[in-house]
């Protein structure tokens, strides 16, 4: 799993595995899901990150297992 934050594009991308992306679908304004051949979600992209979470400190993102 990889998490990428692009401050210039103001976007966040979460990649769940390395399988090939065969389709992408915008499911809400600025939220795009990537699908593999098995129709599984393998990526989530969020645009306009700063307006969605104005107080987000991307340098302090944490991984948490529950």
- 22 pLDDT band, cuts 50/70/90, is very high
What's the sign of the alpha-carbon dihedral 57, 10, 30, 4?
Answer: negative
Domain ranges of the chain: 2-57
pLDDT above 90 for 19: yes
Continuous segment of H or E residues that includes residue 50: helix 49-52
- 39 pLDDT band, cuts 50/70/90, is very high
- 55 pLDDT band, cuts 50/70/90, is confident
Tokens 């401050």 locate to: 7
CA distances from 25 to 5, 7, 29, 47 (A): 20, 22, 11, 13
């Amino acid at each position: 799993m990889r998490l990428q934050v692009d401050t210039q594009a103001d976007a966040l991308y979460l990649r769940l595995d390395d399988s090939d992306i065969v389709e992408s679908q915008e499911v809400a304004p600025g939220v795009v899901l990537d699908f593999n051949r098995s129709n599984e979600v393998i990526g989530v992209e969020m645009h306009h990150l700063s307006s969605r979470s104005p107080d987000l400190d991307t340098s302090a993102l944490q991984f948490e297992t529950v």
